Amino acid sequence: MCTMIAHQVKIEGRGKSGPDWIEVREAYVSYDHPYDLPLEHALNIDFVNEAVGPNARVAVELSVDAARQLVKTIQAVLAQADERGVLEDRPLAAVSASCPGPVVTA
Q: Whole-angstrom Cα distance, residue 45 to residue 35? A: 11
Q: How far is CA 34 from each of CA 26, 50, 74, 77, rounded to the nearest angstrom?
A: 19, 21, 22, 27
Residue-by-residue pLDDT tens, the chain, 106 positions: 889 999 999 999 999 988 889 999 999 999 999 999 999 999 999 999 999 888 889 999 999 999 999 999 999 999 999 999 998 887 776 555 556 666 666 6
SS3 at position 31: strand
Could you report how far apart the first and last alpha carbons of the chain are, in Å? Answer: 36
